[in-house]
Structure 1
Amino acid sequence: MRVVMFGYQTWGHRTLKALLESEHDVVMVVTHPKSEHAYEKIWSDSVADLAEENGVPVAIRNRPDDDELFDLLKAADPDIIVANNWRTWIPPHIYSLPRHGTLNVHDSLLPKYAGFSPLIWALINGESEVGVTAHMMDEVLDAGDIVDQRAVAVGPTDTTTDLFHKTVDLIAPVTIGALARIAAGETEFTRQDRSQASFFHKRAEEDIRIDWGWPADVLERLVRAQSAPYPSAFTFHRGKRLEILSAVVSEGRYGGTPGRIFYREEAGVVIVAGSDARTGRNHGLAVTRVRTEDGRELPATEYFTSMGGYLTGRP
């Protein structure tokens, strides 16, 4: 099939690579300009560079809604558009242009975790598996019929980086597997159960600010979700920003006020956590490594030289 690809960052790069190595003919690529957004600089393999290296025409757009691009797409005469990590709305006159419509590849097990940063949100929420879904695009974002979907397990110590590497390896088989069904003439695919759908926004600074009212197990997953190269989860100690680089759920149960710097436990310093911490039934978050405002990284047992005081959400 003649394929136009819409994509960005490493997800788009992996998709284009799979298409170039397949039996299909990539006739045009549309990608975004480089971004300075913190999350968009992390997995930033260039779709444009890969296309140009392989002699594929490239159009760079923030939004695909101008007449010039539409004319280029019509001239490319695609059988299908394949999109992965395209960051803005694709209008109906674009996604319905090819003979077989548009196949979108998304890094979650739809219908859950439509939208942005699905791996981070899934890890924070304690999901047992994550994956990649290829679905037909329609008027509702990430809601079309599922053509192919594959999952991988989330391990007990996995970080978002670990999950990225697990799921990015699914892009090629999911994409090529879905195209094989479409090329074979199939048109009936699996409808999404919209009662199970969830939609998440882009992550920003506020999303990595630690709320000590959250349970310790959720905070431990937040720290893993925001592990390098993602911006680290942070709190404030004595008015200065303190990043939490690693932590575990405490062995013991600790009562009091959320955020209290309370007790040394093995290699960590336990911070009281949970909205009902007053009951004394909660585990705390045993912080093991921190980064100070001036960039020093050190064990929590060296940073917290004495117990007492509080970690807070604001200076």
Structure 2
Amino acid sequence: MSQAPQAVRAVVFAYHNVGARCLRVLLAHGVDVALVVTHADNPAENIWFESVAEVARDYDLPVATPDDANTRGFAAQLRALQPDFFFSFYYRQMLEPALLAIPTRGGYNMHGSLLPRYRGRVPVNWALINGERETGATLHRMVERPDAGEIVAQQAVPILPDDTAGEVFAKVTLAAELALDRVLPALLGGTATHLQPDLSVGSYFGGRKPDDGRIDWKQPAAVVHNLIRAVAPPYPGAFFFIGERRIVVTRSLTSRASRGPSGRPELHTDGDHLLARCADGGVLRILSLEVDGEPLAPAALPARLGQNPIPLV
């Protein structure tokens, strides 16, 4: 693997699996990482991903976890490091223009979509909700407007019809590693091509909350299936209520059962499988679910609730 030109120094803002893998790519190319800026894990959050702080400590790199990276005091600390580059790999805070002015050769961010599509928050989850068949990772220059700077590298990956967000995120993590590894020699050498994206043909999406995972069974089966897989574990999950029981559907498949007429949505078992017939007549097979926080074999749900079929509206 080619080495970086001498004395190329970077400050790396990173979190999550993409942050851990991309930090390793920089080190493999000989980049002098003067500081790793990451987040202290929130004990209330499901921490299912790799720790950037632990990776940094494995390589004896200094680590900082400021509550706000944009303060004047922290900016002064970064300025004293005299970095050539800033890199942001799934760091959760936007770096303001005053901070981006510090590195002499600019700041670059890795985003989990094929920009300019799916700018903004949680792009993998939104791509699945919208039924996309492809996504990827994009390395771009950081500017004041989110995910709007010049693109220097992209790597596409497929989304299969039944992939969950966790599975697609693993593909995006690899895409980020490949894109960064491929472009880094040119970027460090000053020869990387920079392409300005046409934001008019792109899209921007905001963040999501756990309550956004509530299933509306009046929606077509394809829409329900996309929501289930978009928020499947390790994300909070798609849910609905039957009476006071909270039921989380953690995985589904588009069923081969014959499509029925449009009508009232319902759950029913054919003995071996739990099937959800949606309002458009489309059928989903429920592969796994939880009732009030406890896993339950899907086919056992009608017996647990004492009814088969189970009306959903």
Return the offset for 1:193.
Answer: 1.6
Matched residue, 2:5: none
Return the offset for 1:213.
Answer: 2.3
Matched residue, 1:223: 228
Matched residue, 2:180: 175
RMSD: 2.1
What SS class does the counterpart of residue 122 from structure 1 fall into? helix
Change beyond 3 A, Cα 1:164–1:188: closer
Matched residue, 1:302: 300
Match of 2:55 among 35, 42, 50: 50
Q: Distance in 1 between matches of 2:86 and 2:175?
A: 19
Matched residue, 1:72: 77
Return the offset for 1:72.
Answer: 1.4
Give the aligned residue type for 2:285.
A
Deviation by residue 1:225-255 (Cα, 9 ceiling, x = unmatched): 2333222211111331011123233432334
Matched residue, 1:14: 21
Q: Distance in 2 between matches of 1:297 and 1:120?
A: 25
Give the aligned residue type for 2:63.
V
Matched residue, 1:287: 286
Pairing 1:111–2:112 present: no
Q: Distance in 1 between matches of 2:45 and 2:311?
A: 29
Query: Is 1:258–1:271's contact at 8 Å kept on the other side of the alignment?
Result: no
Return the offset for 1:185.
Answer: 2.0
Matched residue, 2:3: none
Return the offset for 1:55.
Answer: 2.4
Q: Distance in 2 between matches of 1:32 and 1:167?
A: 21
Return the offset for 1:256.
Answer: 5.1
Change beyond 3 A, Cα 1:288–1:5: closer
How do 1:1-315 and structure 2 match up within 5 A?
Answer: 1-36=8-43, 38=45, 41-43=47-49, 45-186=50-191, 188-250=193-255, 251-255=257-261, 257-261=263-267, 263-264=268-269, 267-274=272-279, 277=280, 282-299=281-298, 301-305=299-303, 306-311=307-312
Q: Distance in 1 between matches of 2:309 and 2:163?
A: 31
Return the offset for 1:210.
Answer: 0.5
Deviation by residue 1:180-207 (Cα, 9 ceiling, x = unmatched): 2222323651111212222222221222
Query: Is 2:120–2:205's contact at 8 Å kept on the other side of the alignment?
Result: yes
What SS class does the counterpart of residue 187 from structure 2 fall into? helix
Give the aligned residue type for 2:216.
D
Where does the alignment leave 5 or more consecutive residues of structure 2 unmatched? 1-7
Deviation by residue 1:133-162 (Cα, 9 ceiling, x = unmatched): 000011110111110000111123322222
Q: Distance in 2 between matches of 1:107 and 1:37?
A: 24
Q: Distance in 2 between matches of 1:121 and 1:164?
A: 12
Change beyond 3 A, Cα 1:294–1:101: closer
Return the offset for 1:122.
Answer: 0.8
Query: Is 1:132–1:151's contact at 8 Å kept on the other side of the alignment?
Result: yes
Change beyond 3 A, Cα 1:76–1:100: same
Give the aligned residue type for 2:236.
P
Q: Distance in 1 between matches of 2:51 and 2:176?
A: 16
Give the aligned residue type for 1:92.
P
| Percent identity between the two aligned chains | 31
Return the offset for 1:176.
Answer: 3.1
What SS class does the counterpart of residue 140 from structure 1 fall into? coil
Q: Distance in 2 between matches of 1:17 and 1:179?
A: 12
Query: Is 1:100–1:182's contact at 8 Å kept on the other side of the alignment?
Result: no
Q: Distance in 1 between matches of 2:194 and 2:201?
A: 18
Q: Once structures 1 and 2 are overlaid, which stretch shifts more, 3-12 or 238-247?
A: 238-247
Return the offset for 1:90.
Answer: 0.6
Deviation by residue 1:271-291 (Cα, 9 ceiling, x = unmatched): 3424xx4xxxx3133334321
What SS class does the counterpart of residue 108 from structure 2 fall into? strand
